[in-house]
Amino acid sequence: MQDPVTSPTGITYDRPAIERWLAAGHGSCPVTGQPLSLGDLTPNHTLRRLIDFWHSTPLTAAAAAPVERRQEAAAVVERLMVTDGSCPSCDLLREAAAVASESGVARRCMVDAGVLRRVLRLVVSCAKKRSSGQVMMATGDACLALFHALDVSGDELRPLVADNHDIVDAVTRMLTTLERGRDEAGDATRASAVKLLESVMEVADASLLERMRPELFHAVTAVVRDRISPGATRAALRMLLHACPIGRNRALIVEAGAAHEAIELEFAAWVPQAPGGRRATELVMALLAQLCACADGRAAVASHPAGIAVVAKRVLRVSAAADACAVRVLAAVAGRAASPEVLREMSRVGAVGKLCCVLQADCDAAVKETARAVLKMHSGVWSGSPCVSAYLLSRYL
């Protein structure tokens, strides 16, 4: 590949190759099948620079680099794995993170040498010392930087954290401490901490998920509320989603105010064109759908002044995944136990109209069936509403 270009579908091609494809009469992306023209192609400058660098690197240097990186990693590991009870300095931890970030060979050497286990123990030790917020932030931030630089897979992380409640408690304590004295550096550490929690919860076993404490969900919900960064917000939402399969956790998440904060996030800051904006909306809708499996979750969505309106507005505007979850939320809120006030609000804010639109749109059959069941259940109430088209209800039911 010499001149990489990227299509709107996210696929990267070599420019001469994709131009030949389009010149041959094809009008779609070869991989996804979606419509594609020459004007849709944009240069991939990052990949172009990497290709140029690769071509300019002498073969001897490329062959010697892995050996040098392995020796550099071994020197760092030797200093990190000191067993005299002392804690490595922040400078050493950051140096190790820099070495791991620069080379996959060095990263692999560190993981094989047990650096990951050492880092997780340091996080726990740092939190248990109950040191000041500044000290915890400095040491904890360095440990978190090294953890993320190691870029371990779920299979590598699972044996160390699957049933390790100490690491969850440690990160929870770190988040709570840094929340009290908010500043820019502390928010960066909170963002790294919640990403670690997301990784842990993704591989946690049932015994760990069943022992989650309310403080954890309050701390993670605060990350969503404070909107530290788009990445931290998405990590917090994913972490809450990983905990939702346990019924007790759903109740604790609602109690922590996560349903309210998720709706507020969508109501105040939803920008579909922003990087990750659509993904954040999908996560919010998925979380609300999980929380609406319990009565407290349904009540939280229905009681929020903009809850039903925000969910209805996202239907048919984001993605098929968001549509499925949003319709599930509306179906849960409008269940057989729905109050007359909730049903009136659904017609007033356009939720009933959106459910009718789902029946007309090219949606998944299961999503259409869910929407049809809700409309049938309350057609007697909604058919007399001035906010709902009686023609639509009669036509599609």
Write the pLDDT tens digit of every residue in 274-285: 545 788 999 999
pLDDT-derived band of residue 271, with 50, 70 and 90 as boundaries? very low
**DSSP, residue by residue, 273-300:** TSTTHHHHHHHHHHHHHHHTTSHHHHHH
Q: C-alpha distances in angstroms, 387 versus 289, 381, 382, 390, 392?
A: 25, 11, 8, 9, 12
Confidence at residue 19, expressed as pLDDT on a 0 to 100 scale: 86
Tens of pLDDT, residues 192-217: 999 999 999 999 999 999 999 999 99
What is the rounded CA–CA span in Å between residue 90 and residue 29?
48
- Whole-angstrom distance, CA of residue 263 vs CA of residue 376: 27
How many H-runs (helices) and E-runs (strands) does the chain carry? 24, 3
Residue 269 parent element (H or E): helix 258-269
At residue 184 the predicted structure's pLDDT band, cuts being 50, 70 and 90, is confident
- What pLDDT is stored for residue 344 in this prediction? 92
pLDDT of residue 59: 52
Task: Give the pLDDT confidence of 103-142 residue by residue, as tens digits.
Answer: 888 888 898 889 999 999 888 887 776 555 565 568 888 9
Q: Dump pLDDT digits (tens) for 345-388.
A: 999 999 999 999 999 888 889 999 999 999 999 988 888 777 77
Report the percentage of the chain scoring pLDDT > 90: 48
Query: For position 255, what pLDDT does the model report?
Result: 97
Beta strand ranges found along 12-169 (DSSP E): 12-14, 42-43
Name beta bridge partners: 43: 5
Taking only the tens place, the pLDDT of each residue in 286-295 is 999 999 999 9
In this prediction the pTM is 0.79
Q: What pLDDT shows up at residue 272?
A: 47
* pLDDT at 301 exceeding the cut of 90: yes
Question: Quick one: pLDDT at residue 4?
Answer: 93
| Strand (E) or helix (H) holding 122 | helix 115-128
Q: Per the structure block, which two tokens stand in for 209?
A: 């998920």
